[in-house]
Amino acid sequence: MLTLKGKSVSSGITIGPLALFHRNTISTAVRPIDDAEAEVSRFQAARAASISQLQSLYEKAVEKVGEEQAAVFEVHQMMLDDDDYVDDIVSQIRDEKLNAEAAVEHTAQNFAAMFRGMDDAYMQARAADVLDISRRVERELCGGEGIDFSAYDQVIIAADDLAPSETLQLDTDKILGFVTSGGSTNSHTAILARTLGIAAVVSTGTQLHNDVDGKTAIVDGTTGTVYIDPDEETLERMKKRQDSEIRRRQELESVRGTESITRDGRHIDVYANIGNPDNLSQVLSNDAEGIGLFRSEFLYLGRNTYPTEEEQFEAYKKTAQTMAGKKVIIRTLDIGADKKVDYFNLAPEENPAMGMRAIRICLTRPELFRTQLRALCRASAFGTIAVMFPMIISTDEVRRAKAILQDVQRELDEQGVKYDSHMEVGIMIETPAAAVMSDELAKEVDFFSIGSNDLTQYTLAIDRQQTQLDAFFDAHHPAVLRLIGQTIANGHKEGIWVGICGELGADLALTETFLRMGVDELSVSPPAVLPLREKIRSLDLKK
């Protein structure tokens, strides 16, 4: 038995045959060329064909996993149109007389090395993207056939890493799990596994070879452990755990349709977090009582231009109508930090997590902010929408944001456009500054929503995407919990409700702690709704 230890990106246990992921061989060897311009034309034709393929893949992926996950194919098209990338390849063909295949490969490796050398974990992960688009162009140049993805049926995929396009072309209904020797918890493979609920372990550090192909494997996504060719004792033990998990999911059905109320009668709103309207089916199927965080920035990602007012209005309207009167809290755009968009033309920053992002962009680009607020207000006529401003550190920011909102509403009044004049306005508490000043901030808004991910990052001074610091990162740190408790208490003193919409909201080990602090709402990923409701219903806060 071979036991591997990696990083868990999606919980659950899966058992099945291991299938090594095989890519077609591409030759990028250097060979002499006679006509550089003909070689440039050959590269441009391969690039155009690759862009066309990516557009087709995008359209298929939208139907399969929604726009948020499919956006990677739009990003890849943009990367193939990047002037620096294209010019580097063309100059190598013309100046160094390299054949197109070799020029693409040299550029791919140089760009990938550049991304890997960056401090930001998100940018480091982009190395996989530039290699992915380059492989596609190289395959076109070599005239090779694509990978036969249909060959992977009811297997656990094992690979060094899976490129975004490879992951999304797999028939995930037939994939039992993923195991990769490389990759990160921020990779597209990891994101897809979490979205679809497929057990996955990445970064095992062990490259697997043909001698294990077809052997039975167990992926324990809960502990990040992989067993290959397990002995009878291990197999039996893991089958029992798998059966237990299946029974557990069946047991959770008993709380579907019930109230999220403690034994002593305390009701807690259990809402869901989403990125766009494509996630609404998950919200409904998991019986969430509302939407506590609509990450509106996903409407801005994977595009070449800003979304129009009408595009945003239709997305917010659809969400409000689908939720049929249940509350929908929409966070204004939180671009910046790990969410980079080229057309925003943000200046490079040494520490983007503490730079120009979220409300800071909105207040320095008021016309961009006004467009989003107009769409939000107009959509509020079709349901129960609340607006929430992120990354607040002062009362001045809140007042300035509210002033712009009020000006937009006056404009809508003059135009005779309907909107909910009683729409709630809240803020994210995700900086220590906001938590410490929560007594003053509570006087300005209708609610607080605590973003525990960033609050933990900024309180502990640890980049939450820097995996090398995992040993130092403690989401249960007393300082973080004190700030959360202080925020809830200060909010209640001013008569406003307080929720939590970060990862800690789904941490069942802290549910009772949060309820005793007095939290009013918890917003979690859709699959976490029923386990959280069950936990709440088991508690008696009088004891």
DSSP annotation string for 89-140: HHHHHHHH---HHHHHHHHHHHHHHHHHTSS-HHHHHHHHHHHHHHHHHHHH
Helix (H) or strand (E) holding 228: strand 225-228
User: Per-residue pLDDT tens for 287-299?
Assistant: 999 999 998 988 8
Instruction: Verify that 185 and 40 share a domain, yes or no.
Output: no
Please check the confidence at residue 186 and state whether its pLDDT lies above 70.
no
Which CATH number belongs to the domain containing residue 293 in this structure? Answer: 3.20.20.60
pLDDT at 121: 67
Q: Which residue has the higher pLDDT, 311 or 153?
A: 311
Range of the domain at 83: 36-142
Per DSSP, what are the bridge partners of residue 267?
261
> Domain for residue 27, yes or no?
no
> Domain for residue 499, yes or no?
yes
> Domain for residue 30, yes or no?
no
Instruction: Verify that 71 and 104 share a domain, yes or no.
Output: yes
For the chain, what percent of residues have pLDDT higher than 70?
Answer: 90
Backbone angles phi, psi at 388, to 5 degrees: -140, 130
Number of helices (H) and strands (E) in the chain: give both, helices first: 19, 16
Per DSSP, what are the bridge partners of residue 225?
5, 220
Number of domains in the chain: 3
Per DSSP, what are the bridge partners of residue 18?
156
**pLDDT-derived band of residue 116, with 50, 70 and 90 as boundaries?**
confident
Where do we find the tokens 């959280």?
A: 532
User: Per-residue pLDDT tens for 311-325?
Assistant: 999 999 999 999 999
Q: Which residue has the higher pLDDT, 328 or 28?
A: 328
Q: Which residues are catalytic?
A: 188, 501
Instruction: Verify that 112 and 242 share a domain, yes or no.
Output: no
> Domain for residue 234, yes or no?
yes
Range scoring the smallest mean pLDDT among 11-25, 102-116, 362-376: 11-25
**Whether the Cβ atoms of residue 221 and residue 9 lie closer than 8 Å to each other:** yes
Instruction: Verify that 420 and 519 share a domain, yes or no.
Output: yes
Report DSSP state, residue 336: B
CA atoms of 199 and 4, how far apart (whole Å): 15
> Domain for residue 28, yes or no?
no
Instruction: Verify that 154 and 131 share a domain, yes or no.
Output: no
**Whether the Cβ atoms of residue 239 and residue 259 lie closer than 8 Å to each other:** no
Please check the confidence at residue 481 and state whether its pLDDT lies above 90.
yes
**pLDDT-derived band of residue 467, with 50, 70 and 90 as boundaries?**
low
**Whether the Cβ atoms of residue 241 and residue 13 lie closer than 8 Å to each other:** yes
Secondary structure E strands in 242-290: 269-274
Please check the confidence at residue 268 and state whether its pLDDT lies above 90.
yes
Instruction: Verify that 126 and 216 share a domain, yes or no.
Output: no
CA 66 vs CA 16, 275, 332, 335: distances in Å: 28, 10, 21, 20
Q: In what order do the strands lie in the sheet with 13-20?
A: 2-5, 225-228, 216-220, 13-20, 155-159, 175-180, 199-202, 7-10
Please check the confidence at residue 516 and state whether its pLDDT lies above 80.
yes
Please check the confidence at residue 338 and state whether its pLDDT lies above 60.
no
Where do we find the tokens 């998100």?
A: 122
Where do we find the tokens 């802290």?
A: 510
Instruction: Verify that 137 and 154 share a domain, yes or no.
Output: no
Which CATH number belongs to the domain containing residue 47 in this structure? Answer: 1.10.274.10
